Amino acid sequence: MSNREENLAVAPVVRWAKLNDAEQIAKLINSAFRLAEEFFFEGDRIALGEVRDLMFKGRFLLAENEGKVAACVYLEPRGDRAYLGLLSVDPERQQFGLGSWLMKVGEDHCRVLGCRFMDINVVNLRQELFGFYERRGYVENGLAPFPGDLDTKLPCYMVKMSKQLD
């Protein structure tokens, strides 16, 4: 068994984040996004204060493996819609289906809350993500600007995608 496979030998535990998890969440998001986005963006994707602010608007769902946060996703119910964002998997635990599994848990939770649609935003430069989300039922439905407070090396924008949950 390789070191990467050993990282997932113990099944992850899912739980809701608490405020004292914010620092670990910020580190995970920045680590995962840095690896994937370094070709167009330098620096941290999110600050600790932003994670804390999001925790008052929505919730982070965490997947823990052996006491360490292995993945997270942000969920924010918005009436009959919900927003899913900042899906992040520890780089050592990527490519094992953990992100897909955590997304499904998040979608199921929002479905139980009565949300009929899930919305996500994907940066246009991350072409590899479109197939990932399309295979999970998401379709493109609009464009939005990339967050204005983040300086990028290349021009980019967000592609809005949605999925019907019921």
User: Residue 76: its pLDDT value, please?
Assistant: 98
User: Residue 7: its pLDDT value, please?
Assistant: 47
pLDDT tens-digit series, residues 60-116:
999 998 888 999 999 999 999 999 999 999 998 888 889 999 999 999 999 999 999
User: Residue 3: its pLDDT value, please?
Assistant: 52
CA–CA gap between residue 53 and residue 162 (Å, rounded): 24
Higher pLDDT, 31 or 35: 31
Measured CA distances, 111 to 97, 163, 165 (Å): 21, 11, 6
Side-by-side strand order, sheet with 139-145: 13-16, 59-65, 68-78, 81-89, 117-123, 157-164, 139-145
Q: Is the pLDDT of residue 27 over 50?
A: yes
Q: Tell me if 118 sits within 8 A of 84, measured CB to CB.
A: yes
pLDDT band per the 50, 70, 90 thresholds, residue 9: low
Report the number of distinct structural domains present in the chain.
1
When pLDDT is averaged across residues 33-37 and rounded to a whole number, the result is 88
φ, ψ for residue 116, nearest 5 deg? -100, -15
pLDDT tens-digit series, residues 105-156:
999 999 999 999 999 999 999 999 999 999 999 999 999 998 877 788 999 9
Higher pLDDT, 73 or 11: 73
User: Residue 11: its pLDDT value, please?
Assistant: 72
Q: Is the pLDDT of residue 47 over 70?
A: yes
User: Which domain, by its residues, includes 95?
Assistant: 3-164
CA–CA gap between residue 65 and residue 62 (Å, rounded): 10
For the record, the structure tokens of 162 come out as: 């949605």
When pLDDT is averaged across residues 3-32 and rounded to a whole number, the result is 83
Q: Is the pLDDT of residue 20 over 60?
A: yes
The CATH number given to whatever domain includes residue 91 is 3.40.630.30
Question: CA-CA-CA-CA torsion for 147, 37, 133, 131, nearest 10 degrees?
Answer: 130
